[in-house]
Amino acid sequence: MPTIHTRHIKVADEVWVAAALLHREHPEREGFTPDEIVKRVQLEGIHGRLRPGIHQHAVQHSVANRPPNPGRYRMLYANGKIRRLFRPGDTYHPDRAGSKTTPTREDLPAEYHYLLDWYSSEYVRSVVAEERADPILKLRGLGAHIWSGEDPDHYVRHLREGWG
C-alpha cells in the first residue's frame, strides 16, 4: 500500500478517498461501516497518522443525509449503519445544500486524481444507467401525447360535472 504522507490533506478528503478506494475494491458492496472507512484511512496513511476527526467525519460531519454537527459536507450518504459515496440526486439535509461533495483535484495528492475521474465516469454514471434500465422509471412520460393540448383544469372540471 502507498505511503504518501501528505500533511496538508483535509480530514474530509481523506475519508472520501478511503470510501472511494473501498468502493473500487469491493464493487459488489453498497457501502461500508464507519469503522471500515477509518481502517482504510489508516491503511492508506495519506496523512501519516490517523487523526481523531476521521471517525467523526465518517459518522456525521461528511454525511449528507444527517443534520450538520458542525460539518456540512455531502461526501457520504448514510443507509442505516453503512456509508457510501454521495451521488447527485441523493437526498440530503437542507442545511447542507451547496456544500462540497468531492475533494477538489488541487486538494488531493496526484496519486489519487484517478479516483475523481472514476467517480464521475463510472460511479455516478452507473446510477444513471440503473435508472434508465428500471422498468418503472422507463414509464416516465408514457402517454404524454394523449394529454397534449388538454387544459388540466378544464379536464378536471369535466370529470367532476356528474358528481353529486
Mean pLDDT confidence for 93-105 = 93
Q: Model confidence over 9-59: pLDDT tens digits? A: 999 999 999 999 999 999 999 999 999 999 999 999 999 899 989 999 999
pLDDT at 71 over 70: yes
Average pLDDT, the chain: 86
Q: Which of 70, 75, 18 is nearest to 47 (CA)?
A: 18
